[in-house]
Chain A
């Protein structure tokens, strides 16, 4: 079977093709799709892509950030206004991988580090598909697993206060390694107390997910050893880690509260 590649100048047309073509898969950087094509994945017959410049758009205004689905990790690292995202983008893959790995593509990765940070930023995702366009909360998009059918046009989120976003990537190999697990946390403080915390994990479930029990347990607490203790106690609530080649489910459950503790008491690390 020969693969057909269809390239569209406008994202809307790419979205329409995605909905109508047989075995269509949207390709941004290619790190996921080309691997599947190399392995002759029979589900992919048509590769749909777009050269629409808006796909690569980075828009930072006071208060809001919008990233086109095709924005690469390398592009984020080149953007000073996005310095708060650099600790995350920097640990996605390798330098070469970061030139291809995209914001949109990371939403489809099982252990998407960047997707995890976006969850902690309460991001929304702009989708296009057979239905036209719509906006969805990111955690809803991820949990619904709407893979393949829709195209991620962009993600958007409120710009976090300075220093509010924290990220930890736990790997056995440095600097580049697959995460055992990753934790992203947005910890807004009012009078020294956490209000509206957002905590997200990668590697603790089949997709990145919010740690809602830990978030609730942090509400109104101080970020000190005593204050975070209730959150640590429920750190793994709602998670379903797997045994895989990187680590066992048991190990992930054991180390999660340790790394969450370090993140809540300290700062980013990878």
Chain B
């Protein structure tokens, strides 16, 4: 018996049928087809699967999908407005804040959660905001700089 789930994903109403006990990450990727969300551990420890649920950062791999019924979910696929990228996306590109790119969707959502609540974060705020997101490539510094740039509205190309 599959469970019907209806959510608001990146501003659009979408629905899917999910197995009982399915987690949100699997429903987003497998049933709804939003492949912008990635899975790293399926244990709730690496942060790769971070999405926003009603504005709050959440680990989709340990979130029961049906508990999200009627809620508003944001993923990386919904960050850009048509052709225009979100300031975070521009800042990440300019600061070389991604190498393999696998942690990037989760990082962007964790950063967005921060900036939506605190538009003027300190460096310490940024470090804490991404504390739950593991990156194995960049060493984190470019990511922190990118988030601070985006907060400052500063996404000019750097030499």
Contact = CB atoms under 8 A, between A and B. Distances in A.
A and B touch in the complex (CB under 8 A): yes
B62 A95 contact: no
A239 interface: no
B64 A38 contact: no
B121 interface: no
Nearest to A37: B21
A38 B42 contact: yes
Interface string A75-114: 0000000000000000001111101100000000000000
Interface string A208-237: 000000000000000000000000000000
Contacts of A176: 131-132
Given A94-B132, A95-B128, A176-B132, A34 B61 contact: yes
B56 A99 contact: yes
Interface in A139-177: 175-176
B66 A5 contact: yes
B113 A31 contact: no
Given A5-B20, A100-B59, A95 B129 contact: yes
Contacts of A3: 19-21
A206 to B, nearest CB: 20
A34 B23 contact: yes
Best-buried of A5, A74, A95, A99 by chain B (most CB within 10 Å) = A95
Contacts of B56: 74, 96, 99
Interface in B2-61: 3, 19-21, 23, 42-44, 47, 50, 53, 56-59, 61
Given A3-B21, A37-B21, A96 B64 contact: no
A23 to B, nearest CB: 11
Interface residues of B, number: 31
A2 B3 CA distance: 11
A97 B132 contact: yes
B44 A35 contact: yes
Nearest to B55: A99
B31 to A, nearest CB: 15
Contacts of B67: 30, 49
A18 to B, nearest CB: 16
A29 B33 CA distance: 25
Nearest to B59: A96
B63 interface: yes
B131 A34 contact: no
Nearest to A2: B20
Given A30-B63, A31-B44, A34-B44, A96 B58 contact: yes
B110 interface: yes
Nearest to A38: B42
A74 B59 CA distance: 14
Contacts of A7: 66
Given A30-B64, A37-B23, 19 more contacts: A3-B19, A3-B21, A4-B20, A30-B67, A31-B59, A34-B61, A34-B64, A38-B23, A44-B21, A47-B64, A74-B56, A94-B132, A94-B133, A96-B47, A96-B58, A97-B132, A99-B58, A100-B58, A175-B128
18 contacts: A4-B20, A30-B64, A35-B42, A35-B62, A38-B43, A38-B62, A47-B21, A49-B67, A74-B56, A94-B47, A95-B110, A95-B128, A95-B132, A96-B58, A96-B59, A97-B59, A97-B132, A100-B59
Interface of B: 1, 3, 19-21, 23, 42-44, 47, 50, 53, 56-59, 61-64, 66-67, 110, 113-114, 127-129, 131-133
Interface of A: 2-5, 7, 27, 30-31, 34-35, 37-39, 44, 47, 49, 74, 93-97, 99-100, 175-176
Ranked 4 nearest A-B pairs via Cβ: A94-B132, A3-B21, A34-B62, A176-B131
